């Protein structure tokens, strides 16, 4: 029987080694949830890195780890600490991530990183070959594994291979600066179907293929030797029901067991009912525009001083890639900015910014979404941005205003949000004012459209549409690709 093989850098389970032994805990992330419909019923295998380096894996536990992963339909690729350094912290996050997000000044072109990236991609490809058959369908995820499709294709010319990029694809002018640009394109073109979040990323990719490889491109088909590769956009959704149900439950439990954070949020509401809460949630990443957002908030308070003591900005920054120097510098910059602004503007009754640098449990995420009057998300470039979608899904009474950067992939589908250019402080200050004063009826009218769309195009639909297009491709039915 043929199966589906899913490949991503990390597995959808986390291993925990304690005195009591080994446990594998399923992750709650968007990808893991989205792939549930594909990754179920014993007909699929998920291959990835377990999160433990070879050095950190006690040899006596090897077999137990494999067994625990197998129970979740997973198999691991073993990586050494040196490989993680060059492949993940190196080429993936010091070359591809900054380049694809247009941070040229942070992009490092290191031959050593590239060599390790190639070797680790080969390890993933070898694991796929070892654990799959010719008839299996293979779905490779994201920028850490862009060479895998071609590496598998060389050994399995007839296998059906799909690839999805979760981050933006840059314009040709930026992409062509990469010393290994042809190899990356050829790696991706080992696929039968290549998916992006938006039509713009798809267009950028096709333009690079045409100009750098000189291949024939017609509409969204690439012609390579005797193969036709399909390129299309599949905007990723969220698990709408999960967020909606959590918010409904949250409303019912309000007077029972409250988290510390919820107690703080409720106290805030009781003591300052007219103070609007403005929420921002991101991984601590320079692409998310957190420092600029804090500066824009200060600009807003100076432009409209009547809102001092009437608004509060909550910043939740989730620790991320703290081994990479740029992320350490950003953390320092944000700490200092928040300290300075709170120091200069706070009053006896008011602190303008509440800043949390940590990962919070899911319940707390829901506390924040449901308690905030406004969500303000200002990435400078973002493949999609799921936080924008999650905030809207939790607004049970349909109130709440979403201010969203035009540079996020999700902005293409969320026209009813207030869309802004994160570099335009004047526009952002005016938009914040418009959000604070927006009548409830208008909020509800906008969110009704947004919620209907999010409910319909949820993450399961996203995964199924991709798989459907990939299966159609292998059956030779090209009608599935008319976008
Ligand atoms: P990310 O850059 O991580 O993803 P995003 O899409 O916003 O960005 O997803 C973040 C996820 O983390 C959300 O699902 C959110 O609920 C969760 N999260 C945020 N704060 C948390 C916290 N404190 N504790 C626990 N969970 C938290 C990359 C790309 C995006 C693209 C996604 C999916 O950079 O552009 O949308 O992949 O393709």
Distance 390 CA to ligand 1 centre (A): 10
Q: By the 8 A CB rule, do 404 and 435 touch? A: no
Residue 481 has pLDDT above 50, yes or no: no
The residue with greater pLDDT, 28 or 260, is 260
pLDDT at 343: 97
Please state the three-class secondary structure of the chain as a single string.
Answer: CCCEEEEEEECCEEEEEECCEEEEEECCCHHHHHHHHCCCCCCEEEEEECCCCHHHCCHHHHHHHHHHHHHCCEEEECCCHHHHHHHHHHHHHHHHHHHHCCCHHHCCCCHHHHHHHHHHHHHHHHHHHHHCCCCCEEEEECHHHCCHHHHHHHHCCCCEEEEECCCCCCCHHHHCCCCCHHHHHHHHCCCCEEEECCHHHHHHHHHHHHHHHCCEEECCEEEECCEEEEEEECCCCCCHHHHHHHHHHHHHCCCCCCCHHHHHHHHHHHHCCCCEEEEEEEECCHHHCHHHHHHHHHHHHHHCHHHCCCEEEEEEEECCCCCCHHHHHHHHHHHHHHHHHHHHHCECCECCEEEEECCCCHHHHHHHHHHCCEEEECCCCECCCHHHHHHHHCCCCCCCEEEEECCEHHHHCCCCCEEECCCCHHHHHHHHHHHHCCCHHHHHHHHHHHHHHHHHCCHHHHHHHHHHHHHHHHHCCHHHHCC
Q: Is 314 in the pocket of ligand 1 (CB under 6 A)?
A: no
- pLDDT band at 139; cut points 50, 70, 90: very high
Distance 387 CA to ligand 1 centre (A): 6
**What is the average per-residue pLDDT within 384-410?**
97
Output the residue whose Cα is nearest ligand 1's atom 16. 387
Atom of ligand 1 nearest to the CA of 386: 6
Which sign, positive or negative, has the C-alpha torsion 443, 448, 449, 451?
A: positive
pLDDT of residue 274: 86
Q: Is 281 in the pocket of ligand 1 (CB under 6 A)?
A: yes
Q: Find out whether the beta carbon of 321 lies less than 6 Å from any atom of ligand 1.
A: no
Torsion 105-287-237-125 (CA) sign = positive
Q: How many CB atoms lie within 10 A of CB 157?
A: 11
**Residue 368 Cβ contacting ligand 1 at under 6 Å:** no
Measured CA to CA, the distance from residue 48 to residue 296 in angstroms comes to: 40
In this prediction, residue 41 has a pLDDT band, given cuts at 50, 70 and 90, of low
Residue 382: CB atoms within 10 A of its CB come to 27
The tokens for 443 are: 């909020």
Q: What is the pLDDT of residue 483?
A: 37
Report the chain's mean pLDDT, rounded to a whole number.
93
**Tens of pLDDT, residues 346-364:** 999 899 999 999 988 888 9
Q: Is the pTM of this model over 0.80?
A: yes
Bridge-based pairing state of the strands 160-164 and 311-318: unpaired
- Nearest CA, atom 15, ligand 1: 387
User: Integer distance in angstroms from the first to the last C-alpha of the chain?
Assistant: 31
What is the number of residues in the chain?
483
Bridge-based pairing of strands 221-224 and 227-233 is antiparallel
Mean pLDDT of the region 83-89:
97
298, 303, 308, 314: CA torsion to nearest 10: -40
Token pair listed for 206: 């096709």
Residue 393 CB coordination number (10 Å)? 27
Among the residue ranges 85-94, 141-150, 254-263, the one predicted with the least confidence is 254-263
Closest Cα to atom 8, ligand 1: which residue?
385
| For the CA of 379, the nearest atom of ligand 1 | 35
CA nearest 460: which of 161, 234, 246, 230? 234
Instruction: Evaluate: CB of 283 within 6 angstroms of ligand 1.
Output: yes
CA distance 274 to 309: 9
Single out the residue of 353, 361, 378 nearest to residue 275, CA to CA.
353
CA dist 175 and 173 (Å) reads 6
Task: List CB contacts of 191: < 8 A, sequence separation 6 or more.
Answer: 140, 149, 153, 161, 162, 163, 229
**For residues 195 and 164, is the Cβ–Cβ distance under 8 A?**
yes
Q: Is the pLDDT of residue 207 over 50?
A: yes
pLDDT at 59: 87
Q: Is the C-beta atom of 384 inside 6 A of ligand 1? A: yes
Q: Has the ipTM of the complex gone over 0.85?
A: yes
How far does residue 360's CA lie from ligand 1's centre (Å)? Answer: 12
Measured in Å, residue 222 CA sits from the centre of ligand 1 at 31
Q: What is the pLDDT of residues 411-459, one digit of tens each?
A: 999 999 999 999 999 999 999 999 999 999 999 999 999 999 999 999 9
28 lines ligand 1 (CB under 6 A): no
* Residue 474 or 169, more confident: 169
Atom of ligand 1 nearest to the CA of 362: 25
Percent of the chain with pLDDT over 90: 80
pLDDT at 461: 94
What is the distance in A from the centroid of ligand 1 to the CA of 289? 14
- Ligand 1 atom closest to 387 (CA): 7
pLDDT, average across residues 285-293: 97
Q: What pLDDT does residue 48 have? A: 96
State the CB neighbour count (10 A cutoff) for residue 347.
Answer: 9
- Predicted local confidence at residue 34, as pLDDT: 73
**Residue 77 to residue 478: CA distance in whole angstroms:** 34
Ligand 1 within 6 A of 122 CB? no
Ligand 1 within 6 A of CB of 316: yes
For 118-139, what is the mean pLDDT? 97
Is residue 359 within 6 Å of ligand 1 at its C-beta? yes
- Whether 165 lines ligand 1, by a CB cut-off of 6 Å, is no
Mean pLDDT of the region 310-325: 93
Q: Residue 256: what pLDDT? A: 61
Averaged over 297-302, what is the pLDDT?
Answer: 98
Residue 346, burial from CB neighbour count under 10 angstroms (0-12, 13-18, 19+): middle
Instruction: Tell me the per-residue pLDDT of 186-196, one tens digit each, with 9 for 90 and over.
Output: 999 999 999 99
Query: Does ligand 1 lie within 6 Å of residue 125's CB atom?
Result: no
Query: Rounded to an integer, what distance in angstroms lies between the CA atom of residue 310 and that of residue 304?
Result: 11
Model confidence at 281: pLDDT above 80: yes
The pLDDT score that the predictor gives to residue 195 is: 98
Please report the pLDDT score of residue 478 as a whole number.
Answer: 53
CA-wise closest residue to 318 among 370, 257, 360: 360
pLDDT higher at 261 or 477:
261
Contact predicate 231/199, CB 8 Å: no
Beta-bridge partner residues of 138:
5, 161
More confident residue, 26 or 458: 458
Q: Is the C-beta atom of 166 inside 6 A of ligand 1?
A: yes
Q: What is the pLDDT of residue 480?
A: 43
Q: In ligand 1, which atom is closest to the CA atom of 356?
A: 23
With a 6 Å cutoff on the Cβ, whether 228 touches ligand 1 is no
482: confidence class by pLDDT, cuts 50, 70, 90: very low
Minimal-distance CA residue to ligand 1 atom 38? 166
Q: How confident is the model at residue 253 (pLDDT cuts 50, 70, 90)?
A: low
CB of 217 closer than 6 angstroms to any ligand 1 atom: no
Q: How far is the CA of 384 from the centre of ligand 1 (A)?
A: 9
* CA 383 to ligand 1 centroid distance, Å: 10
Query: What's residue 254's pLDDT?
Result: 59
213 Cα to the center of ligand 1, angstroms: 33
């Amino acid at each position: 029987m043929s199966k589906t093989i899913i490949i991503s850098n990390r597995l959808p389970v986390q291993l925990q080694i304690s005195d009591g032994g080994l446990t594998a805990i399923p992750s709650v992330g968007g990808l893991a949830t989205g792939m549930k419909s594909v990754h179920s019923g014993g007909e699929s295998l998920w291959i990835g890195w377990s999160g433990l380096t070879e050095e950190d894996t006690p040899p006596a536990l090897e077999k137990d780890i494999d067994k625990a992963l197998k129970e979740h339909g997973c198999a691991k690729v073993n990586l050494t600490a040196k490989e993680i350094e060059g492949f993940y912290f190196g080429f993936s996050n010091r070359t591809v991530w900054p380049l694809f997000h247009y941070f040229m000044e942070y992009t490092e072109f290191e031959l050593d990183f590239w060599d390790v990236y190639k070797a680790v991609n080969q390890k993933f490809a070898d694991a796929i070959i070892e654990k799959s058959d010719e008839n299996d369908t293979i779905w490779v995820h994201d920028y850490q594994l862009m060479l895998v499709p071609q590496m598998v294709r060389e050994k399995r010319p007839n296998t059906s291979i799909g690839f999805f990029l979760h981050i933006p694809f840059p314009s040709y002018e930026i992409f062509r600066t990469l010393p290994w640009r042809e190899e990356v394109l050829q790696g991706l073109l080992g696929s039968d179907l290549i998916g992006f979040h938006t039509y713009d990323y798809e267009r950028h990719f096709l333009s690079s293929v045409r100009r750098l490889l000189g291949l024939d491109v017609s509409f969204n088909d690439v012609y390579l030797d005797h193969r036709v590769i399909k390129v299309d956009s599949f905007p990723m959704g969220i698990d709408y029901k999960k967020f909606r149900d959590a918010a409904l439950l949250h409303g019912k439990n309000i007077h029972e067991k409250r988290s510390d954070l919820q107690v703080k949020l409720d106290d805030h509401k009781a003591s300052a009912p007219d103070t609007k809460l403005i929420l921002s949630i991101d991984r601590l990443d320079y692409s998310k525009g957190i420092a600029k957002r804090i500066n824009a908030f200060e600009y807003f308070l100076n432009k409209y001083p009547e809102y001092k003591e009437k608004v509060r900005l909550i910043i939740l920054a989730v620790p991320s890639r703290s081994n990479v120097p740029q992320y350490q510098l950003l953390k320092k910059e944000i700490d200092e900015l928040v300290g300075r602004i709170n120091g200069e503007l706070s009053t006896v009754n008011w602190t303008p910014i509440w800043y949390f640098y940590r990962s919070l449990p899911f319940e707390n995420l829901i506390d924040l979404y449901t308690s905030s009057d406004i969500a303000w998300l200002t990435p400078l470039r973002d493949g999609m941005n799921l936080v924008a979608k999650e905030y809207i899904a939790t607004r049970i009474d349909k109130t709440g205003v979403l201010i969203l950067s035009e540079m996020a992939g999700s902005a293409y589908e969320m026209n009813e949000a207030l869309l802004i250019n994160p570099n335009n402080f004047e526009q952002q200050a005016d938009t914040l004012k418009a959000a604070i004063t927006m009548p409830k009826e208008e909020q509800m009218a906008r969110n009704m459209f947004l919620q209907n769309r999010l409910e319909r195009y949820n993450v399961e639909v996203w995964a199924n549409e991709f798989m459907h297009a990939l299966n159609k491709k292998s059956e030779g039915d090209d009608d599935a690709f008319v976008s």
